[in-house]
Amino acid sequence: MLFARLSRQELLLITLAIGALLAVVKFVTHYLTHSDAVFSDALESLVNLVGGAVALYCVHVSAKPRDREHPYGHGKIEFLSSGFEASLIMLAGVASIAKAIYGFWDSTNVALLDKGILLTTVTGSINYAMGYYLRYRGREMHSPSLQADGEHLMSDGYTSLGLIAGLLMVLLTGWDWIDSLMAIVFGVLIVRNGWGILQHAISGVMDAADEVLVAQVISILERERRPNWIDVHNLRIIKYGPRLHIDCHLTLPWYLTVEQAHEEAKAVGDIINTEMENRVEIFIHADPCVKASCSICTIFDCPVRKVPFVKKVKWTKEIAMQNSKHKILS
């Protein structure tokens, strides 16, 4: 498939070009219909353009290799892109609500609703299709900017569906005030969508724990674990755009040489990277086992065991995120 080979920058460029055309169509639709609800939709399309342009710049910066000033790379900027777009979305929603409230006292009548419904159907369908594909590719490429842009365009498609229903109601009843009411509803939904995107962006910047991602990593290690890996704890994951930084403590037999401990740690990193598309940087702190570790250690021929084996502990995200060695007191 042609689009499947496109880079993040190319996808955003195409989205910007189509978005510019759709914005023109929406403002023409507003000019023809004098609809406040259509104006809300058109105003959001401008946000799509500005947000898309910012996302394109941020994706370009994010793709730069790490350097001396940015040892973890430039991926964090994608969360800033999402936050900026979310702020614009909420601003557009507030502006739409303000104009709709003014519309209750405005004597301009809504007109040419049949053409408005047709044009809104076309633009809404295209936006939803673009958004769905951008979100899909964003998840595939692990790009916060693409995902945020896709979510926004999909919400624009949902808004258009409601807009069509509102215009049909005005067409059938002749009550123009329905248009202003629908515009207020759309404005609230636009603000709500922007708030959701902003929360996600803040979580990324603040390195909020992604428990789903932690569970995915620990399930990989649980499936591939070796007897020498007595436990994994204090596991933390930081997102840098499409890349991940993972650090954890790995409890190993205390009698391993430095070289042997290094090989065990390297094996952990290799396994995680193989499963996660080679997008992980992992730092492992090797901990020596202690007497209490014997109760969960599966090295049954260990020459220095001090405590009888009790049971094997299944690794879970709750256990892996704790900053302490695993143990079962007999």
Q: What is the pLDDT of residues 1-50, one digit of tens each?
A: 555 677 878 888 888 888 899 989 989 988 888 887 788 778 778 877 88
Give the whole-angstrom CA distance, residue 293 versus residue 218. Answer: 19
The SS3 call for residue 249 is strand
Helix segments in 174-210, DSSP class H: 177-205
Q: Which two tokens stand for residue 109?
A: 């009548």
Q: Which two tokens stand for residue 64?
A: 């730069």
The pLDDT score that the predictor gives to residue 4 is 62
Lowest mean pLDDT among 93-107, 157-171, 267-281, 285-299: 93-107
User: With contact defined as beta carbons under 8 Å apart, do 288 and 252 qualify?
Assistant: yes
Q: What is the pLDDT of residues 133-142, one digit of tens each?
A: 988 888 887 7
Whether pLDDT at 55 is above 50: yes
Whether pLDDT at 212 is above 90: no
Q: What is the pLDDT of residues 215-257, one digit of tens each?
A: 999 999 999 999 999 999 999 998 877 788 899 999 999 999 9
Whether pLDDT at 260 is above 70: yes
Question: From edge to edge, which strands make up the β-sheet containing 280-288?
Answer: 231-240, 243-252, 280-288
The pLDDT score that the predictor gives to residue 285 is 95
The pLDDT score that the predictor gives to residue 330 is 46
Higher-pLDDT residue of 83 and 105 is 83
Instruction: Provide the terminal-to-terminal Cα distance of the chain, rounded to the nearest Å.
Output: 59
Q: What is the pLDDT of residues 87-116, one digit of tens each?
A: 877 887 787 788 778 767 765 667 778 888
The SS3 call for residue 330 is coil
The pLDDT score that the predictor gives to residue 192 is 85
Q: Which domains does the chain have, with CATH numbers?
A: 3-205 (1.20.1510.10), 211-320 (3.30.70.1350)
Evaluate if pTM is beyond 0.75. Answer: no
Q: What is the DSSP string of 46-88?
A: HHHHHHHHHHHHHHHHHTSPP-SS-TT-STTHHHHHHHHHHHH
Structure-derived torsion over alpha carbons of residues 140, 144, 147, 148, reported in degrees to the nearest 10: 180
Q: What is the pLDDT of residues 152-186, one digit of tens each?
A: 788 778 777 777 887 888 888 888 788 778 778 87
Q: In the predicted model, what is the mean pLDDT of residues 284-292?
A: 93
The pLDDT score that the predictor gives to residue 158 is 76
